[in-house]
Structure 1
Amino acid sequence: MASPYNFRRFWAGFLLDAFDGVLGSEPEGETGRRQSFVSANLLAGAMGAALWPLYFAFVGPVDGATAFAFLFLWAPLGIALAVRSETLSLAQGQMASALALGGFVSLAAIYTGGLASPLLPWLLIVPVEAAIAGKRSAVTIASCVAGVGFFIAAMLSLVGWLPVSRIDPAFAGFAYGVSVFAAIIVGMFAMRTLQRRNEHEVARARANAAWHRALTDNAADMITRHAANGAVLYASPAVEEILGLRARELEGMSPAMFVHIQDLSTVEQAFTAAARGGHEAVAFRVRRRDGTYLPVEMRVQGGNGEAIAVTRDMSNAKAEILELARALDKAEEVSRAKSRFLASVTHELRTPLNAIIGFSDVMRHELMGPIGTPKYREYAELIRNSGSHLVDLISDLLDMSKIEAGKFTIERKLVELKPVADECLAMVKVAADEAGVELVCDVAPGLSLMADRRALKQCLINLLSNAIKFTLTEGRVVLKARKVGTDMMLSVSDTGVGIPEKDLVRIGKPFEQVEGEMQRTHKGTGLGLSLVKALAEMHGGGMAIESALGDGTTVTLRLPLAARDDVPGEPASVVFPEKFRARA
């Protein structure tokens, strides 16, 4: 149950809000104005409702015309409740309140003397009350209602149809004076409300202007206001930092006085477009007081014949771009030097390795006579295997260096897949048998595509070798080929150890390998998959890897059936994609 203190506090707040609305005060904020309007109309409606029993007690029964007039007096109750429930907005409620006042005054004037009615001056208050809503349409409608009321009273007076006045002629003069005085007081409060609202709007506008000026004065970028022809109407203090001029010195200047002659046309076009409501961004050079030119970037927008421009000094950005370009050139030079070094070293290493492999073959086969001790034959086999492994690594390095240098070319010819797949499986069969891995070929006869046969074999052998290395005994490796649209999909699947999800993003980059027990058992350079990916992209295709730890791996190559830019059947020489190529 509410305490007496809270009850008194509620009614005190209600009456204060009501008097704010009646006396024309302008509370802060939309919520305060809404509450004040609601309270004032609830109070007015309650007073209108209280007049009914008083009229009955002192005058007598209510007739139809009087009852209709009372409806206008009760209208503020409904308007207040509608505004409070937000069925009507505050502006709509204020307009409805003005219309209710206009209807009541018009009806009351007809029954109290027409043009001689003491209530007629209140018709002037109706549009003033409507003006509080702040909408032109509300004032127009209220003025029309007041005008229609005046016209009806005048016409009824003119034709003699006016009802008998309900005001005693002896008190008519007094009633007229009281009515006019009351209308003046109410009009004064209404005008005071409009005045206070205007003062608040002006104060807000000044506060916003002060904030905007503070932002403009402290901005590092130069902020300017221009006419349609580009003439400067206002400049922020940052102009002194950028141009070496005081802001007032720049005002009135045309762009021709501080924009580089080669950039002037572009800048003037930007101002013209912005003055029509467009938005432009241009880069140009401005002349400083000392005669030097500064690169800047300007963003300009506007409308109604004027434009606002924000200009930023780009000299530091230009310096950073040049520094990055120099760093890029230096990195590319290092990359070219690395590629030349790799190419030179691999060529130098191949000659002695070929000799080592050749002489180890002579020793293994005892071409020059018996060795004598079987252990020597075993050593010769180890020497040959190690040399062959080194040759393979050197070949990969040489291919990668050619690719990075943009000198690796492919020659497309019509290649039938089945024979190539059989050759590749035959080449890795010995390694698969030793590892106890089953090889399966799922390549249908008749499938063919335009590709470099040597590069295709290199891709498949690399993928098959990797799959065998990382598949446990009694596992399976499957080579599959399928035609999908205009592409050939070649996949190598295994039942091996798989690749952790966190390592999938690294696979396919040069020298990247997955860490693990199997990797420590099978050493390598990490170039195999990167070469496969590079060769697939050189054909206009790509490589995708699907794997999960302990659930095997599937590597899929997507190769176009025909060259993207060449006629099928003609050989093509394709330079490796730009992202893998070092500049010559």
Structure 2
Amino acid sequence: MSQGSDTQNQGEEAVKRNSRPEMAMLLDAITECVFVSNRETMLFMNGAAKALFTDTDAENISDLSYFMGWVFPEDRILLQQKLENCLEGKSDGGTFEFRFLVNSTEMRWFCGTVKPVVWEGHEAVVASLYDVTDQKEVAHAHDRSEQLFQNIFRITPEVMLLSSLTDGRIFDVNPAFLNVFGYRRDDVIGRTSEALGIWADSTFLNRFVEELKMTVSMTNVPATVRTRGNMIRHFQLNAQKIDHAGEQLLLLIGRDVTDELIQAQELQRSKDSAELANRAKSEFLANMSHELRTPLNAILGFAEILRDQIIGPIGNDRYCEYAQDIHESGTHLLSIINDILDLSKVEAGRLEAYLHWIDPTNSLDMCMTLVQQRAFENDITLEKDMDETVELEADQRLIKQIGLNLLSNAVKFTEPGGHVKMCLSRTGNAGLCLSISDTGIGMTPDEIKIAKRPFGQVDTSLSKRHEGSGLGLPLVTAFTEKLNATMTIDSQPGIGTRVNILFPPEKVREKVKDSYEDESLDQI
């Protein structure tokens, strides 16, 4: 070999030696993974490629079979075939995808290209790879979402329509739409809903779309449509704007609510009829109660005259006993009529409560006085324990009726020798509690429910020995609600009953003594 040839070869070798570090630096600067290998050995890897492996792996990665061990088994054959074709000159490589176990733990998708090259004078293959896992996941999520949408679109019983928001052309409808409106799919696609004549109001869709353009979605929009057989049906629509491939689409979902509307109308008519009948009943009872009280008061007055022999002696004591029986029966009947009148007012919504600040002990003391004689005759001890330092915002008449009804019931259903106690005390939340407790017959939870119903009477031997209308407790419940208070009942058969009327804190305040002193002076 001549001296000139030797000099030329030495120069080429020098260029190769100087270019390798520069090439390595260049390849390390890119984010794609670059591999150079032959059939058995990994000849070169850039920095991005080395980052796929742990330090332990890096010691063995020069062996190509070790590298192939981290490729997903189903993709390994494809990668080996690509390598062989390039080395044998059968192919220039091309693009491919495969799965690879990164750092021995995480499975990732890679997309790459392979090309045949000459590396250090030998045939080799260079592979350029980049991670496409995120894109794969996004595409998979999109496909899954699209498949889910298609499944819902096909099987949902609600009518669904997908159309252009600009010109109204229909892209797709679900089977429910075709079934409701009586069209074939070919008759619908590419046409507009207006051309199909499905809207009973021809101006509805334009108004609907214009409003939708100012928002993203609309829900529970009432619409009237014309279905197969030219039948008018009422629908409730939900709409959503969808951006697809740069075009705005309208997804319309409709639910037939015709039957629901008919049921609601029938229910409202039934309710109105029931309220009308109830109001008529209440007015009848109120009028009858008023008409009955007028002659009954006369009967009571004349019975008192005969009983007390005010005009003169009757001559036979049995007539006085009869007059007493007439007076007692008439008084009981008048009490029932008054209760019916009050209940009628409650049911008719005409019960009025005139609220002002009162001293509740005055009204409750009066109630104790009214039942004292009956309690004495039945050998029942009456007790009271009342906080006299409070004022209550209430209706004095209703407080009296609550106290009198509860005390009367307590005395009525307590055996001789028993006790009845009325308490008025503060509660833990600064409210007020009016409680009437007794040692009477008591009630079970089921019997309490019966007693709270109008005309409900607990079927016990003791209750049957006493007259009553079964209106006392229902009236107390109504009066309590009118005063914005709450009633609770604690009762056990054979032990007794305790009824609590709980007033909220805003209804209670400290008694202003000066005002009552001024009132007493005015009365004097």
Task: Give the TM-score range, shorter chain.
Answer: 0.5 to 0.7
Report what 2:448 is aligned to.
Answer: 504
1:374 matched residue in structure 2: 317
Which residue number corresponds to residue 285 of structure 2? Answer: 342
2:99 aligned partner: 130
Please tell me whether residue 233 in structure 1 is matched to residue 171 in structure 2: yes
Q: How many residues align?
A: 426
Cα displacement string for residues 342-375 of structure 1 (whole angstroms, at most 9, x for unaligned residues) = 0121122112221221122112111132233333
More helix by share: 1
Shift in Å at residue 377 of structure 1? 2.3
CA contact (8 A) 1:496 1:551 kept: yes
3-state secondary structure, aligned to 1:138: strand
Query: CA, structure 1 residues 66+264, in 2 after alignment: closer, same or farther (shift >3 Å)?
Result: closer
Corresponding residue to 2:192 among 253, 258, 280: 253
| Residue aligning to 1:491 | 435
Match of 2:208 among 267, 272, 281: 267
Tell me the equivalent position of 1:94.
Answer: 72
Q: Please give the alpha-carbon distance, in whole angstroms, between the structure 2 residues aligned to 1:366 and 1:255.
A: 94
8 Å Cα contact 2:490-2:498 kept in structure 1: yes
- Matched to 1:553, the amino acid is T
**Kindly tell me: are residues 97 and 415 of structure 1, through their superposed partners in 2, closer, same or farther at Cα, counting changes over 3 Å?**
same
CA distance, structure 1, for counterparts of residue 506 and residue 59 of structure 2: 94
Q: CA deviation at 1:96?
A: 13
How far the C-alpha of 1:123 sits from its partner, in A, is 13
For 1:563 and 1:262, the matched residues in 2 are separated by 56
Measured against aligned partners, the alpha-carbon deviations of 1:202-255 in whole angstroms (never above 9, x if no partner) come to 9x9999899768636xx4x42322334565322345446644555544443156
Determine helix, strand or coil for the equivalent of 1:139: strand
Q: Is the aligned partner of 1:68 residue 2:60?
A: yes
What fraction of aligned residue pairs are identical, expressed as a percent? 28
When residues 132 and 228 of structure 1 are mapped into structure 2, their CA distance, relative to the original with a 3 A threshold, is: farther
| 2:361 maps to 1:418 | yes
Between 478-487 and 466-475, report the one with greater CA deviation. 478-487
Distance 1:473 1:123 in 2: 114
Deviation, 1:424, is: 0.8
- 1:336–1:207: structure 2 CA closer, same or farther, 3 Å change rule? closer
In the alignment, the residues of structure 1 paired with residue 423 and residue 292 of structure 2 have an alpha-carbon distance, to the nearest angstrom, of 36
Q: Is the 8 A contact 1:297 1:312 kept in 2?
A: yes
Are the counterparts in 2 of residues 350 and 391 from structure 1 also a CA contact under 8 Å? yes
Following superposition, the deviation at residue 293 of structure 1 comes to 4.5
Q: Within 2, Cα distance between the matches of 1:534 and 1:397?
A: 13
Taking structure 1 as the reference length, the TM-score comes to: 0.60
Partner of 1:435: 378
**Alpha-carbon offset, residue 95 of structure 1:** 9.2
| Post-superposition offset of 1:548 | 3.0
Q: Judging changes above 3 Å, is the alpha-carbon distance between structure 1 residues 239 and 129 closer, same or farther for their aligned structure 2 residues?
A: closer
* Structure 2 letter corresponding to 1:267: F
Is 1:223 paired with 2:164? no
Give yes or no for the alignment of 1:533 onto 2:477. Answer: yes
Answer yes or no: is the 8 Å Cα contact 2:100–2:107 preserved in 1.
no
Residues 483-510 of structure 1 show CA distances to partners (whole Å, capped at 9, x for unaligned) of: 3456432121222222212233444332
C-alpha distance in structure 1 between counterparts of 2:337 and 2:430, whole Å: 35
Match of 2:51 in 1: none
**Residues 213 and 291 of structure 1, relative CA distance in 2, 3 Å threshold:** closer
| Counterpart-to-counterpart distance in 1, 2:450 and 2:399 | 23
Deviation of 1:545 (Å): 1.9
Q: Which residue of 2 aligns with 1:17?
A: none
Within a 5 Å distance, the mapping from 1:55-204 to structure 2 comes to 68=60, 94=72, 128-130=97-99, 138-140=108-110, 143=112, 154=119, 157=120
Change (3 A) 1:273 1:373: same
Shift in CA distance, 369/254, structure 1 to aligned 2, threshold 3 Å: same
Contact 2:101 2:107 in 1 (8 A): no
Do the aligned partners of 2:392 and 2:507 also contact (CA within 8 Å) in 1?
A: no
Deviates more, 1:296-305 or 1:373-382: 296-305
CA distance in 2, matches of 1:531, 1:430: 23
* Bigger mean CA offset, 354-363 vs 555-564: 555-564
Matches of 2:207 and 2:477, distance apart in 1 = 46
Q: Distance in 2 between matches of 1:319 and 1:66?
A: 76
Letter aligned with residue 282 of structure 1: V
Q: Which amino acid is 2:421 matched to?
A: V
**1 CA distance for matches of 2:438 and 2:90?**
100
1:21 alignment partner in structure 2 = none
Measure the CA separation in 1 of the matches of 2:294 and 2:267: 41
Aligned to 2:140: none
CA shift, 1:118, in A, is 6.2
What whole-Å deviation, never above 9, does each CA across 1:461-488 have from its counterpart, x for those lacking one? 0011111222223322221222345643
> Which SS does the other structure have where 1:130 is aligned?
strand
Alignment of 1:286 onto 2:255: no
TM-score (norm 2): 0.66
Shift of 1:417: 1.7
The one-letter code matched in structure 2 to 1:223 is M
Closer/same/farther in 2, CA of residues 292 and 540 from structure 1, 3 Å limit: same
Structure 1 letter corresponding to 2:99: A
User: Equivalent residue of 1:335, what SS?
Assistant: helix
Q: Which residue of 2 aligns with 1:396?
A: 339
Partner deviation per Cα, 1:423-460 (whole Å, 9 max, x = no partner)? 11111111222232222211122221122111110111
Deviation of residue 120 (structure 1)? 12
Report Cα offsets for 1:511-570 as digits up to 9, x if no partner.
Answer: 233332233223322211111121122222232222233342222223356679xxx9xx
Gaps of 5+ in 1: 1-63, 80-92, 110-116, 159-164, 166-171, 180-201, 569-584
Answer yes or no: is the 8 Å Cα contact 1:539–1:560 preserved in 2.
Answer: no
Out of 534-543 and 243-252, give the one that drifted further: 243-252
Is 207-216 or 311-320 further displaced after alignment?
Answer: 207-216
Question: Does the aligned pair in 2 maintain the 1:131–1:139 contact within 8 Å?
Answer: yes
- In 2, Cα distance between equivalents of 1:562 and 1:430: 36
Q: Deviations over 1:248-295 (max 9, x none)?
A: 444431569644256446632676589x5x573322122457777432
Name the CA distance, whole Å, in 2 between partners of 1:412 and 1:66: 90
Moved more, 419-428 or 207-216: 207-216
1:450 and 1:561 in contact (8 A); partners too? no
Call closer, same or farther: CA 1:96–1:466 in 2, change over 3 Å: farther
Q: Aligned pair 1:481/2:424, yes or no?
A: yes
- Larger mean CA deviation between 521-530 and 331-340 belongs to 521-530
Aligned to 1:446: 389
Shift of the 302–548 alpha-carbon distance from structure 1 to 2, 3 Å rule, reads farther
